[in-house]
Structure 1
Amino acid sequence: MTLDISPVEQALLIGKWSKNIQHTSLITSLAKDVVDGKIRDVLTSPSSRRVFSLHLDNGDLDKTFDSWFDFTLDTAADPAEQELLHLILAVACLHGFLQMNWTGPDLDITLLDILTVPDTLSTSITAEFLQQKAIAELAYGGEPAYHLAQLPILLRLAKILTDLPYNHCHSAAWWRLRTWLVHQQVLDEPVAAPSDVFTSVQSLLKGLSSHHDLAGRLVLEQGLLEHYLSHDKAAAELFVRAARETKMEYELTGALGKRTKFQQSDVTQLILLAESRLRQDEEPEESKAIGVADPSSEGADNLQDGILPQTLALNDDTLLEQTQFTSSSAGTNSKLSHIDPSAQPALHPLDQCILLSLCLNIKNTSPVNGLTAEQMKPYVARVISHPRNWSVHTMALLLRSRLEADRTRTVERATLQLQALVDQMPTADSSLTERLLYIHDIPLPSKWEMERELAKRFLSIGVTKSALEIFERLEMWEEVVTCWQSMEMRDKAVTIVRDLLEGKKAEAETIILRGKAVTANRRQTMDAAREAKLWCLLGDLEPDYALQHYQRAWEISKGTSGRSMRSLGGYYFARGDYKNAITSLRRAVAINPLLSRSWFILGCAYVRDEDWEGAREAFARCVSIDDEDGESWNNLASVYLRLGEAGTVIHDDEEQGQDAALSSETREETKEREIPFSNKMLAFRALKQGLKFSYENWRMWNNYMIVAMDVGELSEACRALGRVVEERSSKDGADCVDAEVLDRLVNAVTRASPKPDGQGENGATDSSADNPNEGHGLLKRVTDLFERVILPRVSSPRIFRSRAKLLTWQGLYEEAVNAYLEAYRCGVASSMEKGETDVKKWREGVEEVEETVDVLRNFGPKVEGYKWKLQARSIVRTFMARTKDFEDEPEWSRLTDLQEEVRRED
């Protein structure tokens, strides 16, 4: 009788065994043991040892693990059952690794308990050999794996098994995704996962449209992998989609309440209203699914096994333990208006996982400011208020600890809470099944990462010695070096790294594994990726020998160390050797293309080398990795213009879907170029995108203004000019106003008919009211620029003349005349005093007087009741009285003639 493997796959995915599964066969018994957390029993079972039986001789020890085993399916047996056995063992290995390194408690098993080793190899294949070989093979994309991870061979076996071809087990692709989620967290830096990790689960997702919780889980886990890869935008979209899949309703809103013990009146507090959908037991219907099902029945369970993680009280003399809401409803008209903020219903654990991920994503996609923390707190508080799962509650407490670390009143609890979370890992206060139930759906860090975070927390509050002890125990030598440098003991840091490389200082795990003193061949057994990293660290510490050390790291790694090439690239760039910098950084990004900093320095090297095509590629990769990198957007825009200057035309369709940005360019350079319009538009879009994340960068605003003028986006140019004035007026005064741009903006308005429904200069009907870049469509923004931004801050004759021209076009003659007079008062003529000897300055003053009198003649009669003649005579008379010393100059006769003309006006 053929086994129906679909229900077994479902049970493995959701972490709960269904009573409807008939587990009479050996394979189903193994699956049930995995679900029940009996990982040791599964991995030491005869079936497991048979699958993990080594097929090699002494000459094959240098081959990779996947060639050690024979996973070929037996044609005489049921292929579906054989595939299911491989999948069960993969899940057991993955969960065993998570138990050892994430959730605890410790797994009582050794490396040799898992493998069946031939007698001929028993002396060659030791636990130490397997440990180091597994760590070396887990290194990926030039990034080493954490060398003190316990039983790394379990993760390596899980990866090998999930990479096998599966024709019957539909959920294998999902488990491969989960394995990559774990693998990313073992590496020093994120490395791009194979594209098929995401694409292979899409067909599975299509079959889950009616199975809400499983669909939500799958989407959430894809989002978490995107998060680990620093693809925050993609992760955000997937987290929101996961909430839609599970039908969870949530809304961030406000409700009246108190946050302090002495608060007398209620004020609006930020709160997250959330409600899970009502779940019923859908298991019989879901058993018909294509290898997966909706774990809906788990929503009815509270925390089933053991006790909760220790939740420390705040015990503050001012702040309340949690916000006390006094209103019975929040200020919302949504579907959640019926929820009482002070008594919200408990959420399903999966929905809690989604909220924690959404909270995490707020941090990733928001600027670093207090508002971010305030936005995140309601998400965390909503989860903490109703504990439903040990691991989920642990994650919520960890996030709260991070949020409270920067506040004086909460920093103590934040540190002690993190210490408590670290201490709870080895305990058995809850069952393994409880801890593993949602481990794939939350960004819970590994044990060593949590301890590293605790050590960094100690550093932040000045407890350097405790931090150093943790870093040394975890053998995180970069952090150890940082600690010694912070204590101004650089020589001590150099000694530690040299001792490690020379074998004089043994790492703790090496001693434990060997049970004896370190031997001279330790350096040969250290995996290449880790040794290369140590050489790079030594290069950082010894600048005079940095080049040799970085090159040595590259040789040790046999051309796989991305860190060594990144360091070499930085070394050459700092010394102006851009050719070698480009070569090194090219190798670095080929090994690990996810690190935007490497692409950025590479782009800068290309710019210095005037390789504009290379620079465009580098900065485009920067913004594709991190679309909030304003500096990269800025430089990308500059490159677009340089490409145009070099005669390269980039068409919009070539760059479809990619926004762009500019670096600082002078107007004189821009005018001289013959840059294609398409290049300018890409530069404009780049700056527009980059300014979202560099709002206070006045240089970018200045560049944006210039390019916007070039491409005809005058409304945006007006906005950019306003931002430059706001940022620079206090330092530069009137010089912060680009007078040429201001004049062009005014001209763009005044070219249109004064009346919106009138005719333009060529007699055609004027439609400028509908165009934000000319005429009446631009008028409001230019007027606001003068009245709200420029004039309250700075003034100059040219600014007032531009203002007067705009007012004249509007028919506001009195205001226009006043603006011209303000221009005169700010000018040279008004500022000249008796005794001046500067002839050039005086001649400029003469021209200003003549211009001002002409303005009064032209517009004075149009202002009812305005005594413009008296004003004109006063201006001429006063100027002549102050500058009598210049009576011998030829221009003096112009003043006397002008004075006589004004008198004759009566």
Structure 2
Amino acid sequence: MIAASPDLLLVNLAPAALGDWDARLVNGEYLAVLAAFLPADSTPSAPFADALSALSTVLAAPRARLHVALASLLLFVQLNWTGPDLPDTASLPSIFTHDADALALLTADGEPAYHRTRSPALLAVALTLLRAPCEPADVRATANWWHARAVRLQQHLLDNPAASLRDVQLDLLKRVAADTPESHVLRAVLELEIALAYQQYKDDRDAVEHLEKAQMASGLKFEVSGLLGRRTRFQENSITQLVVLAESACVDEVKEIGVKTLALNDDTVLEKPKLEGDTARATQNLSVLDQCILLSYCEHVKNTNPADEITTEQMFPFVRRILENPNNWTVHSMALLLRSRLESNKTRTVERAALQIQALVDQIPRCDVAKDDAPVSVRLQPIFAVSTPTRWALEAELADKMMSLGVVRTALDIFERLEMWEKVVVCHMLTERKDKAEALVLQLLEKTPKDPKFLCMLGDIRTDPSLYQEAWDASNGRFSRAMRALGGHHYKAGRYAESVECWLKALRINPLFDDAWFICGCAALHVENWDVAIEAFSRCTALDYENAEAWNNLATVYLRQKRKQEAYRALQQGIKAKYDSWKMWTNYMYLAVDLGHLDEAMQAMTRVLEIRGKNARGNAELEASARASADALVDAEVLRMIVDGILRLHAEQAVPKRIVRLRELVALATEVGATNAGAWKIAAYFYTQTGAPREAIDAHVRAYRCVAKDRYQEYAQFEAAVDAATELFEAYRDLGEREVEEGGEVACADWLYQSKLIVRALLGRGKDFEGEPAYDKVQELMAEIKTLSR
């Protein structure tokens, strides 16, 4: 537990008190810091690369270099994330005017930076200065942390994740963690930012580990629980409402934050559930850091669950808990944005959701100095502890909401203002204006001929693969999207070898596309390129551990190479990701039996039967289909191998729990495969071997009924019935007189009479096959019964 709420912004790992320049950074005086260290006329005409090099030389002192880097970075965040807008950016030193060159430097792994980023040279300067080696150790650790933050911001400028940025960011944060003691006051902030870095690249397994560490370091205690309450105005009886109960180790001062929060004002649904009982832990104030941690947990719920109503209901309590205590402009704004996203699919709240996002967009450029409700120092304080979208991303989200509401014209206006031409093209295509979309792209290409992005857009509109190749050539083989598009085109056309080649070219530049790896693997499967298929599906599962189809395909490739153990391990992961896939469980079952893993085979067969039985139950058509295909529902041969193998093990070593599980499996198999004679015969064998004579006889009777008919059209049918009758007679003879329990009744006292009825019926129904071996066998059975009856 930490003693005091840590500073979420400055990251000063040095033991010394804040200096004057540190205080100016905390207060948001970034222009003053830059003006002090960088004269406005410095290197006015030098190329940007030379200016950057000269800047690193001029700022020889590590702390001076760090102050300029932080001022540049934070001013960049102010302009592109939080606002408020600067009255005039012309006063910036001239090194920050090289926007085009800076954007080129910020491109990573073939992914271009957003071309309307404001003053991108600020970020380029910060990255350059933070990359420079520095001493002493505390300055180096601080610089590494800020460098990781700068790289995280760079990723936000790109359309797609970049592997090189991911590696740099995580490496820097791990170095900072190694230099920061567990008991340090900033450890909670560091662990949270590591978690956010993993979440940025959809690595949720590692993210939650660091979220838990952040929670422990901050002293936050929370649980998702239930309290009685009402959700609507006319609800008479209270029902359990999902809530987050939380308390902080230390609480921030409550103050006005100046965020416009729209009320629901619905005539039925309440603004928030009206709870009953002790609601203290559901409403008491939390620190800003703990609110940031809860926001990340909320994102984790979304990232690790399907996009459905249940996930929405699981996320809402986190959002409500944060909105309960408006402590910070940025955190509260992010919680409102999450609430709007969750409300977008509900008819009673969809309007409020869109209007709230509009309010969030409108508040960014403004700052009411008179009220001093949200100065830049307040807005930026927790900016690296939350996943706040850029200004243009937030506006694009508003446009998407307008699109979903059918307000296409407004959405189009927003996308055109942001110059998000791909979105504009989508709007035109949705309104069936393909000609207008094509005209727009051609107009853009007139201004910037050979632009790879525009060439790809034109290729999408015209479905012309030659334009993808042209885009690739124009980028000198660096625009990975062109090869991804060309690879997809070849795959759809069935040219799998060419598709593999294109995908690999794209993924060698930027490998953080799990769907691209998946399609590449599928194409490699078609051409039996096992090495590429294994690499592709392995990379896919590394990026998305929950991709069950990728695990299944990886297992398929291993099987083709007769690497059964690796296939088995791949399927183990696949069934975790897709627990309700009976096909995947079936494949796992076959492998488990083949490798002798009988307990796992038993679990797999149980799961297959549960899923298939559940799917058919209650659906007349499916139930009829299930009865018609009982042999397919229950693999009797696999069941026999499981029963036989476990009984052999049981003969050597008593394992009662395993036998109980096996009994349950046998019962389930005969329930789902009620018309499967093979399943009943195996059940009879199991009951015989485990000392249950009555159940064994009953199973033989059911096996016979599965094949018995009023009239036999084919000899094979009659033969199967004779075999089942013979086994039933032998069971009657061997087990009928056995005591069910000591000193009690026998398994079947009238077994001889029952045998006679069955054999007599067979003789009558099988007269068409008189003279055949099976009929002779029935006559022999009748003779034996008569002998035993004397």
The alignment's TM-score, normalised by the length of structure 2, stands at: 0.90
Structure 1 residues 65, 198: closer, same or farther in 2, change over 3 A?
farther
Deviations 1:691-726 (A, max 9, x none): 122122222111111111122222222222233233
Instruction: Give, in whole Å, the separation in 2 of the partners of 1:55 and 1:382.
Output: 53
Structure 1 residues 372, 793: closer, same or farther in 2, change over 3 A?
farther
Instruction: Give, in whole Å, the separation in 2 of the partners of 1:851 and 1:767.
Output: 29
Structure 1 residues 12, 387: closer, same or farther in 2, change over 3 A?
closer
Structure 1 residues 92-171: aligned runs within 5 Å: 92-110=71-89, 113-115=92-94, 130-168=98-136, 169-170=139-140, 171=142
**2:149 aligned residue:** 178
Instruction: Give, in whole Å, the separation in 1 of the partners of 2:110 and 2:548.
Output: 28
More divergent stretch after superposition (238-247 vs 784-793): 784-793
Identity among equivalent pairs (%): 37
Report the CA distance between 1:482 and its aligned residue.
2.0
Deviations 1:416-458 (A, max 9, x none): 2111111111111421111111111110101111111111122
Pairing partner for 1:347 from 286, 290, 293: 286
Structure 1 residues 65-464: aligned runs within 5 Å: 69-72=54-57, 82-110=61-89, 113-115=92-94, 130-168=98-136, 169-170=139-140, 171-192=142-163, 193=165, 195-206=167-178, 208-209=180-181, 212-278=184-250, 300-303=252-255, 307-328=257-278, 340-341=280-281, 344-429=283-368, 430-464=374-408
Instruction: Give, in whole Å, the separation in 2 of the partners of 1:604 and 1:891.
Output: 52
3-state DSSP of counterpart to 1:427: coil
Point out the structure with the larger helix share: 2
Structure 1 residues 495-894: aligned runs within 5 Å: 495-503=439-447, 523=448, 531-543=451-463, 545-546=464-465, 548-644=466-562, 679-729=563-613, 730=616, 731=622, 733=626, 734=630, 735-752=632-649, 760=651, 766-769=652-655, 776-788=656-668, 790-792=670-672, 794-827=674-707, 830-833=708-711, 836-862=712-738, 864=746, 866-889=749-772, 891-894=774-777
Report the CA distance between 1:18 and its aligned residue.
13
Instruction: Give, in whole Å, the separation in 1 of the partners of 2:351 and 2:51.
Output: 48
Report the CA distance between 1:198 and its aligned residue.
3.1
**1:13 aligned residue:** 10
Instruction: Give, in whole Å, the separation in 2 of the partners of 1:873 and 1:135.
Output: 93
The unaligned stretches of length 5 or more in structure 2 are 1-5, 369-373, 617-621, 740-745
Instruction: Give, in whole Å, the separation in 2 of the partners of 1:315 and 1:620.
Output: 51
Instruction: Give, in whole Å, the separation in 2 of the partners of 1:226 and 1:181.
Output: 11
Counterpart of 1:105, as a letter, is P
3-state DSSP of counterpart to 1:316: coil
Q: How many residues align?
A: 755
Report the CA distance between 1:42 and its aligned residue.
3.3
3-state DSSP of counterpart to 2:10: helix
Counterpart of 1:470, as a letter, is I
Instruction: Give, in whole Å, the separation in 2 of the partners of 1:501 and 1:200.
Output: 40
Report the CA distance between 1:356 and its aligned residue.
0.6
Instruction: Give, in whole Å, the separation in 2 of the partners of 1:890 and 1:620.
Output: 57
Counterpart of 1:579, as a letter, is A
Q: Is the 8 A contact 1:86 1:161 kept in 2?
A: yes
After the TM superposition, which parts of structure 1 deviate over 4 Å for at least 4 consecutive aligned residues?
9-12, 14-22, 65-68, 210-213
3-state DSSP of counterpart to 1:748: helix
Q: Is the 8 A contact 2:670 2:676 kept in 1?
A: no
Report the CA distance between 1:189 and its aligned residue.
0.4
Report the CA distance between 1:801 and its aligned residue.
0.8
Report the CA distance between 1:777 and its aligned residue.
4.2
Report the CA distance between 1:133 and its aligned residue.
2.2
3-state DSSP of counterpart to 1:387: coil
Report the CA distance between 1:263 and its aligned residue.
2.7
3-state DSSP of counterpart to 2:663: helix
Deviations 1:63-109 (A, max 9, x none): 746655342257xxxx5xx2222211111111111111111111234
**2:785 aligned residue:** 902
Instruction: Give, in whole Å, the separation in 2 of the partners of 1:50 and 1:497.
Output: 39
Q: Alignment RMSD, CA only?
A: 2.7
Structure 1 residues 17, 899: closer, same or farther in 2, change over 3 A?
closer
Structure 1 residues 819, 240: closer, same or farther in 2, change over 3 A?
same
Report the CA distance between 1:560 and its aligned residue.
0.8
Report the CA distance between 1:596 and its aligned residue.
1.0
Structure 1 residues 640, 210: closer, same or farther in 2, change over 3 A?
closer
Q: Is the 8 A contact 1:51 1:70 kept in 2?
A: no
Instruction: Give, in whole Å, the separation in 2 of the partners of 1:891 and 1:214.
Output: 85
Q: Is the 8 A contact 1:220 1:441 kept in 2?
A: yes
Q: Is the 8 A contact 2:564 2:591 kept in 1?
A: yes
Instruction: Give, in whole Å, the separation in 2 of the partners of 1:84 and 1:51.
Output: 22
Deviations 1:126-175 (A, max 9, x none): x6xx3222222211111111111111111111111211221132311111
Do structure 1's residue 53 and structure 2's residue 43 form an aligned pair?
Answer: yes
Instruction: Give, in whole Å, the separation in 1 of the partners of 2:321 and 2:696.
Output: 60
Deviations 1:758-809 (A, max 9, x none): xx3xxxxx3241xxxxxx4432222222334651564311111111111111
3-state DSSP of counterpart to 1:72: helix
Structure 1 residues 894, 311: closer, same or farther in 2, change over 3 A?
same
3-state DSSP of counterpart to 1:831: coil
3-state DSSP of counterpart to 2:397: helix
3-state DSSP of counterpart to 1:861: coil
Q: Is the 8 A contact 1:212 1:246 kept in 2?
A: no
Instruction: Give, in whole Å, the separation in 2 of the partners of 1:196 and 1:473.
Output: 33
Counterpart of 1:139, as a letter, is T
Report the CA distance between 1:201 and its aligned residue.
4.1
Report the CA distance between 1:573 and its aligned residue.
2.4
Structure 1 residues 20, 227: closer, same or farther in 2, change over 3 A?
closer
Report the CA distance between 1:609 and its aligned residue.
2.3
Report the CA distance between 1:360 and its aligned residue.
0.8
Instruction: Give, in whole Å, the separation in 2 of the partners of 1:241 and 1:884.
Output: 80
Counterpart of 2:643, as a letter, is V
Instruction: Give, in whole Å, the separation in 2 of the partners of 1:563 and 1:347.
Output: 44
Q: Is the 8 A contact 1:64 1:137 kept in 2?
A: no
Q: Is the 8 A contact 1:55 1:68 kept in 2?
A: no
Structure 1 residues 213, 850: closer, same or farther in 2, change over 3 A?
same
Q: Is the 8 A contact 1:271 1:341 kept in 2?
A: no
Structure 1 residues 235, 837: closer, same or farther in 2, change over 3 A?
closer
Report the CA distance between 1:823 and its aligned residue.
0.7
Structure 1 residues 885, 583: closer, same or farther in 2, change over 3 A?
closer
Structure 1 residues 206, 302: closer, same or farther in 2, change over 3 A?
farther
Counterpart of 1:180, as a letter, is V
3-state DSSP of counterpart to 1:783: helix
Structure 1 residues 66, 576: closer, same or farther in 2, change over 3 A?
farther
The unaligned stretches of length 5 or more in structure 1 are 1-8, 118-126, 279-298, 330-339, 504-522, 645-678, 754-759, 761-765, 770-775
The alignment's TM-score, normalised by the length of structure 1, stands at: 0.79
Q: Is the 8 A contact 1:405 1:415 kept in 2?
A: yes
Q: Is the 8 A contact 1:16 1:35 kept in 2?
A: no
Instruction: Give, in whole Å, the separation in 2 of the partners of 1:166 and 1:195.
Output: 21
